[in-house]
Amino acid sequence: MIQELRILDKETLFDTEAHYVIPRYQRAYAWEDEEIVQLIDDINDSTGDYYIGSLVVAKVKGKVKGKVETYEVVDGQQRLTTLYLLLHYLVSYGGLEGEVGKTLSFDCRPNSNYTLTHIQGLLLDRNSLADNEDRLEQSIMNGLKVIDQKFTTGDAINVADFIDRLKSVILYRIEVPEHTDLNRYFEIMNTRGEQLEQHDILKAQLMGYLSDRCEQEFFARVWDACSDMTGYVQMHFAKEEREKIFGSGWNNEPSDDWNDYEVCLAMEQGEDHKVSIMSIIEPSFEVEVSDGKLEDDKTKIRFESVIGFPHFLLHVLRVFLSVESISMDEEKVLGRLLDDKRLLNDFNEVIFYGRMGGKRIKDNKGEFARRFIMFLLRSRFLFDQFIIKRESIGDDQDGRWSLKELCTSGAWSAKKPYYANTRLRYENEWEKTYAPRNKESLMIQSALRVSYTSPKVMHWITELLVWLFTNNETERYKLTDEAERIAAEAVKDNFLELDNYELGVQTPHVVFNYLDYLLWKKDKETYEDFVFEFRNSVEHWYPQNPSEGTFETWDRVDTFGNLCIISRSVNSKFSNLSPESKMQTFERMVQRGSLKLRIMGNIIKEGCSSQDWVKHACREHEEEMLELLKKRTEELLR
């Protein structure tokens, strides 16, 4: 049975006459910042009825109390739990009328159930269960924290408008037949093939603009190679085609002339992979492994992109419009957000309302498809070489920031790829001179990456790609300066020009991360161990609400000098402790944190009391940090 349920109004998802149980074979609540933010943004950006997906359930036979039916959740529990937290939050803080009720529980997860049972109390007073901190499920607590920040910090969402949009959100509840083997069904649900995505439809649409079969096949090979965002695009082509497109060293920038691909148009996909049966049965026979996997573990990804293919397409389309000087009809502009749900819409806007070379694209669709597929390939090549990735080597599970280019060693059939730091150098410059420039570019890009966690607002990638296309190889050593300019401009527009340094937790994250970059660059030797991480919580060094009134409150706690950016796990530990207590208890944690936090910690360690911090030390620290920000920003943007 399939039932259409609205999140609010009439037939609601969390009707008090239904109870959902997350069974033990399901994992615990595990959504992190990115998934939660994405769900909230998708709802907030929706217009009209918005279908949020499906919830697969099985009715639990014999479990009916009064009118309350119990459903076991087979698929969709992460989304369901997030919606449950979101509605409780809106009831507490958003003026949402009605009640959610205790309509969700976990089977055999006491911490999760304890947290959900006390959710209203926790929302009203985080410290109400301080004595039972060990009984709280931290993943659920983090979910509430993320939701709160979406409505209270930065570009906060208007709660009333959000609730109105929430009334149009619909979810399908699909009830599986009685006697279904739920464990088997769950396994199938989690190993089933992917549904057709918008980028698959776009591929078919653009290929349909080409009438020549060879052109269509070549288009498909390039598209498929670019769509695999693991590793480097060269390695997603067969070796023979790789050399024809990227040269004998596999690292030449692809051509922008369709005629240069004529030799590839006649090639069959995987043509150079044809081998005889006699070769296959030889003990020495090996299948070539793409660089996207680690040599010691063929299932583990070595290089991981900072964005997925749908968002990459949205970046490339915007770069294409800029670089190829595509004009649009009056009042037809692409949205500011890089919304993957508008992928087809954005491309159709360009195709039906754009002009290329003075001609309407809708009258020259074949030429548009040819130009775009070449541009996509060139964009992916530049993206791989000049935009940071996450790289995993050996037993490194989390990976590290990486800015490398693909090189080759050996010749002919013995040729193999290896990876070296991307050369950001003057012509004929020695490696020891340009190596620091590569590190600086990696650091400022990772600062931007952790500042803008949602792929919808990672406009810095678009800007860097436009810059790479409009600056030739001899000028690309300035990539670091361009990335720094992007960060400085964001700091100037969203902070320095406001002339208000008491924004508290609404201070943009890019301000802290750019400041940390400047501090690192100023003293690389001292901060040699520093790396940019996803520190997503703005914290007061001198707390807003001192613990149990043990010391005085301060009306200037929101000033920039008193703020730092930390991870949420650190934030929960810092709580409402004084600066001295934070250093005494968590000094090691402070010294592994952001550079501004380390500096504040050192000020306290050198004998500054909380009273001294309030009276003068905070102001002096703020003036020093602001001077560093202002000076470099003025240098870059004048």
Task: Determine the average pLDDT of the residues in 21-28.
Answer: 82
Residue 426 confidence (pLDDT) = 65
On the question of pLDDT at 389 being above 90, the answer is yes
pLDDT 10s digits, 399-426: 899 999 999 998 877 889 999 999 887 6
Q: Which of 466, 478, 170 is nearest to 318 (CA)?
A: 466
On the question of pLDDT at 430 being above 80, the answer is no
DSSP assignment of 154-223 equals: SSPPPHHHHHHHHTTEEEEEEEPPTT--HHHHHHHHTTSPPPPPHHHHHHHHHHTT---HHHHHHHHHHH
CA–CA gap between residue 262 and residue 106 (Å, rounded):
60
pLDDT 10s digits, 259-316: 999 888 876 544 444 444 445 445 554 544 445 444 444 446 789 999 999 999 999 9
Q: Quick check: helix, strand or coil at residue 22?
A: strand
Amino acid identity of residue 315, one-letter, is H
Residue 435 confidence (pLDDT) = 75
Amino acid identity of residue 283, one-letter, is P
CA–CA gap between residue 212 and residue 417 (Å, rounded):
34
CB neighbours of residue 142 within 10 Å: 21
Residue 111 confidence (pLDDT) = 87
Contact call for residues 593 and 539 (beta carbons, < 8 A) = no
Classify residue 108 as exposed, middle or buried by CB count within 10 Å of its CB (0-12, 13-18, 19+). exposed
On the question of pLDDT at 515 being above 50, the answer is yes
CA–CA gap between residue 238 and residue 222 (Å, rounded):
11
Residue 483 confidence (pLDDT) = 97
pLDDT 10s digits, 213-248: 889 989 999 999 999 999 999 999 988 899 999 999
Residue 264 confidence (pLDDT) = 85
Q: Quick check: helix, strand or coil at residue 62?
A: strand
The alpha carbon torsion through 240, 244, 245, 246 (nearest 10 deg) reads: 90
Q: What is the DSSP letter of 29?
A: P
Task: Determine the average pLDDT of the residues in 340-348.
Answer: 90
Task: Determine the average pLDDT of the residues in 572-581.
Answer: 80
Residue 553 confidence (pLDDT) = 86
Name the residue with higher pLDDT: 603 or 165.
Answer: 603
DSSP assignment of 508-538 equals: -HHHHHHHHHHHHHHTTTTTTT-------EE
What the block records as the tokens of 68 is 């309350």
- pLDDT mean across residues, the chain: 85
